[in-house]
Structure 1
């Protein structure tokens, strides 16, 4: 994806900020704890925070994560988001959160001011040539940079079928465990000067099933960038095809079901 295409996709979410907040999943608590494991302190930046899905997970139960952060009693979270509509929705849903306008390429924080930088389903949108130095700048020595992605567990046959029916615009790179491992193994980390800033990356995955109905799953998929940038007729045809598929499957045709997902984490430490 070139820079213009990435900008088109990444800027599409603000048009559906309310639906994004309603339907997108949060993040596995265990994944967040692993991302923050041995961070040197409690100051956490949620970068590219969107409507606050990861911010909410970070702030929901500070005591649950205090053991994962060295010497921390309470996590101090700052959310930074570039899209005004997404930021409005974040502030509406989390009125006590500290939420600032800004981007990965221009972080509105002082040098060495945070102990961890986390990004939920966002790191692949960053221009790491510019974001890498910025993230390294705001991270304290020994701090953690971690990207978290919610992916569909296609070991379930019906989920693999959903991926085939929806196509790559709906479930694409990074959206299933195998493709996520490959896509994040050498990508989405700082490249310019990165060897001097960060240690070796680590990956881990954590189960994170979501309760859905056919309608709510379609609504969730409708907030994905590949769908949002489709021409209207193509978008309607794609979502109609998915509805028909879900109605045809015994796992999804009869009301609520569990959508099997994983939260994958890519973690690296600031030197």
Structure 2
């Protein structure tokens, strides 16, 4: 049974599955079973997850979401200071990453309440891993503004960003967002649209931003994560296109599709994929 112990009060940020409930870790099941309090973004979704996992939730369940987190945070911090172990879960993935959590973590740090984490599924990291884009350096930008003008201004501030960028987007805004990205970053900038990660209809679509925008114009469904390559360095952008053709032909001869190779090299060097493709065809 959950119980309050003044020596063990803590906040546990617990990652939940982003689609496939089999991704739940043994530690998540243990924390949900033994927590004194579970603060959930949606209590109904928590109950459904617990049922799927076969977890008997014995602790108190309270809601903790965007519109009540300011009021509920002091109450939870007080309970933890008194010894309660509070597990925070959101609808999917890691709390505080584009979800409620940051305010509570900050308050716990200020009150010197222990904060720990149950690691687990993350749409950001999974999309990066499967994107095929550089992952040695990246930044997470969350959701872009909904209004076109505000979105364009935000993207303009990222036009010189050298790191791979990760965004969340609603499916009905995806085509407009990709078009705005193409205007800000260039039609040929490489990107990946990751849809329904870990779910039955999981799909990753890779290509230039303009190409992806045209694909999305027909309508896309599901949870969306967009990964966009960073701006190539000045050194790579100034590379003579002719000097890249031997690498392209070598990779194509080894079995890669010529169009895929030219797009990859174009993204890395800032060259036009069409120019490289035409030059490679002529050199064959």
The two structures have a TM-score, normalised by structure 1, of 0.36
Find the structure with the greater CA-based Rg. Answer: 2
The two structures have a TM-score, normalised by structure 2, of 0.35
Give the structure, 1 or 2, with the largest relative contact order (CA under 8 Å, sep 6 or more).
1
